[in-house]
């Protein structure tokens, strides 16, 4: 009998999963529906480059429906709620979508209003985020005008999407302000709720020198409680104050709002609890989740979503056939980390293995791990093409599989 | 990774004294770690936070942040700092026998 699969979210995970399922199932075997509230698919890794004039915001956005294979129905609508008991999704306006299997791929939501004062006076004037197109574009104007003073880069709270992005932002800001000749007049500060910039022992050993080289002042265990945009102060819950002339913050993140309106689906922050190896949601056996929307203990990053997506369609097929799921996802993440001056690092890790030095094998040759290089920077830039033309359509990327490769890594003796 | 004696029990800890194996934890060890970190007595409010952190970590593989603690544990953020001065999330994790909150690198 023909099955009906509903996918909530037309971003990286939802698009990739829909396209892989379309390849896997013929039109007589499965009906596929993708729901998103808008038709703008943003290449989110590109947002980091926008404030520095290195990427044009218009080039990062494409229509969501155009990324979907033929035979996938796209619904541009808000999700009202998921009714787990009835196995159906209720869309805004009363449309109901019953399902045999549901995929939650609605990512993370920025919640700047949850930090007192953050979106008050000064927001988008001297207080910015680069985590969305509008913020990154506004910040580009502010950085072009910036002629020195205190630039504070802040991580409000964990978890966030792409946890290395604020560090990359600080490194790129160092480069950008040097190029503009105002670096000597700038104090560059990075504040984090964690107790270090690099918290994993091996990464810390290999990378901590970068902060000194780039003259980034680090403030640790700083949980941002309040922003005074007029007075130019960021205030922590324990009363410490960080003065700023320009604040670039990564706001609090949460899951999609409808998760909170769907009893039993999410946790208190609207993340969807899921089995870290099968990606089946804890809520019910016919619900699956991938990408930033889940609570699985790995990074919220596009590479993670990609690797999850290469395994998830298999598990959905197994579930629909009444077979046992494969517990095959290992938490694999693979991220280029820009360090400025046309160089980047590469990190590769999973649930059990922290980022290690060595070389990462690819079809185009090995890339150095935990070490700055130009080839990594080129890899980061080239990836955008692969994203639209290979990753989203659901093609295998040459030499980069879902399981973390052990080859090339230098394990401690 | 080294093995040390805490409250007369051998436990494996990292360089900063966080337990590596949460299953080696017990309440006597918790009290001993608290004592070494400036909390002479663990009150019911301390235990509420420590148990919440530990349960959440064992369920999900991630310990909650300070904001999530304030939102879900029933102990407001201001009180968290009074109970666990300087870094509530880090100190409660240490006392609860779970790894230090960390980023991806």
Architecture of the domain defined by A112-253: 3-Layer(bba) Sandwich (3.50)
Q: Which residues of chain A are within 8 Å of residue B62 when distances are taken between CB atoms?
A: 159, 295, 297
In three-state form (DSSP H/G/I as H, E/B as E, the rest C), the secondary structure along B44-96 is HHHHHHHHHHHHHHHHHCCCCCHHHHHHHCCCCHHHHHHHCCCCHHHHHHHHC
Domain map of chain B by residue range? 2-95
Q: Which residues of chain A are within 8 Å of residue B86 when distances are taken between CB atoms?
A: 221, 238
The CATH fold of domain B2-95:
Arc Repressor Mutant, subunit A (1.10.10)
Task: Give me the DSSP letters along B21-32.
Answer: -GGG--HHHHHH
Which of B77, B90, B105 shows the shortest C-beta gap to A355?
Answer: B105
Tens-digit pLDDT profile for residues A102-144: 999 999 999 999 999 999 999 999 999 999 999 999 999 999 9
Q: Could you tell me which CATH number the domain at A3-109+254-320 has?
A: 3.50.50.60
- What is the average pLDDT value for chain B, to the nearest integer? 92
Which of B78, B86, B105 shows the shortest C-beta gap to A347?
Answer: B105
Tens-digit pLDDT profile for residues A218-257: 999 999 999 999 999 999 999 999 999 999 999 999 999 9
Q: Which residues of B are catalytic?
A: 104
Tens-digit pLDDT profile for residues A311-363: 999 999 999 999 999 999 999 999 999 999 999 999 999 999 999 999 999 88
State the ipTM, two decimals.
0.90
Residue matched to tokens 């939650």: A104
Q: How close A12 comes to chain B (CA, Å)? A: 20
pTM above 0.90, yes or no: yes
- Report the alpha-carbon distance of residue A20 to residue A368 in Å, rounded: 31
Distance of CA A9 to the CA centre of its chain: 14
Residue matched to tokens 């056996």: A285
Residue ranges of chain A assigned to CATH 3.50.50.60: 3-109+254-320, 112-253
Distances (CA, A) of B58 to A42, A67, A239, A381, B54: 35, 39, 31, 39, 6
Q: How close A279 comes to chain B (CA, Å)? A: 13
- Would you say the C-alpha torsion A209, A210, A212, A217 has a positive or negative sign? negative
Per-residue confidence band for B71, with pLDDT thresholds at 50, 70 and 90: confident
Rg (CA), chain A: 21
């Amino acid at each position: 009998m023909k099955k009906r699969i509903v996918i909530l979210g037309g971003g990286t995970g939802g698009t990739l999963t829909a396209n892989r399922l379309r390849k896997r199932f013929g039109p007589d075997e499965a009906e596929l529906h993708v729901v998103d509230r808008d038709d703008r698919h943003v290449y989110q890794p590109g947002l980091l480059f926008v404030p520095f004039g290195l990427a044009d915001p218009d080039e990062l956005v494409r229509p969501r429906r155009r990324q979907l294979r033929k035979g996938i129905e796209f619904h541009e609508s808000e999700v009202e709620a998921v009714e787990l008991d009835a196995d159906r999704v209720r869309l805004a306006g009363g449309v109901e979508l019953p399902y045999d299997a549901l995929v939650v791929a609605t990512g993370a939501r920025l919640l700047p209003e949850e930090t007192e004062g953050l979106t008050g006076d000064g927001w988008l004037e001297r207080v910015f985020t680069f985590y969305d197109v509008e913020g990154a574009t506004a910040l580009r104007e502010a950085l072009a005008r910036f002629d020195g003073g205190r630039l504070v880069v802040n991580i409000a709270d964990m978890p966030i999407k792409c946890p290395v992005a604020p560090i990359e932002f600080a490194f790129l800001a160092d480069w950008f302000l040097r190029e503009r000749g105002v670096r000597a007049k700038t104090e560059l500060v990075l504040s984090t709720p964690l107790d270090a910039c690099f918290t994993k022992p091996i990464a810390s050993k290999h990378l901590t020198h970068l902060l000194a080289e780039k003259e980034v002042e680090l403030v640790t265990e700083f949980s941002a409680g309040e922003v005074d945009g007029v007075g130019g102060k960021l205030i922590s819950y324990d009363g410490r104050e960080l003065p700023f002339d320009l604040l670039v913050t990564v706001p609090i993140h949460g899951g999609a709002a409808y998760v909170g309106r769907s009893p039993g689906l999410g946790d208190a922050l609207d993340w969807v609890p899921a089995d870290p190896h099968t990606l089946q949601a804890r809520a019910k056996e016919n619900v699956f989740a991938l990408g930033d929307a889940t609570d699985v203990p790995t990074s919220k990053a596009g590479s993670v979503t990609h690797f999850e997506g290469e395994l998830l369609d298999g598990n959905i097929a197994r579930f629909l056939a009444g077979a046992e799921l494969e517990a095959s996802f290992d938490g694999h993440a693979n991220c280029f980390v820009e360090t400025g001056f046309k160089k980047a690092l590469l990190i590769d890790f999973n649930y059990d293995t922290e980022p290690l030095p060595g070389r990462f094998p690819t079809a185009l040759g090995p890339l150095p791990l935990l070490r700055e290089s130009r080839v990594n920077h080129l890899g980061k830039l080239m990836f955008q093409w692969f994203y639209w033309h290979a990753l989203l359509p659901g093609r295998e990327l040459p030499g980069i599989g879902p399981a973390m490769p052990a080859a090339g890594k230098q394990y401690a003796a | 990774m080294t093995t040390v004696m805490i409250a007369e029990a051998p436990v494996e800890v990292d360089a900063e004294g966080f337990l590596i194996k949460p299953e080696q934890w017990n309440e006597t060890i918790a009290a001993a770690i608290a004592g070494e970190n400036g909390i002479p007595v663990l009150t019911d409010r301390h235990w509420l936070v420590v148990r919440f952190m530990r349960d959440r970590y064992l369920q999900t593989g991630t310990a909650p942040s300070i904001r999530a603690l304030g939102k879900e544990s029933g102990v407001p953020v201001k009180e968290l700092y009074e109970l666990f001065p300087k870094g509530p999330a880090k100190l409660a994790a240490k006392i609860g026998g779970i790894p230090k909150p960390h980023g991806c690198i």
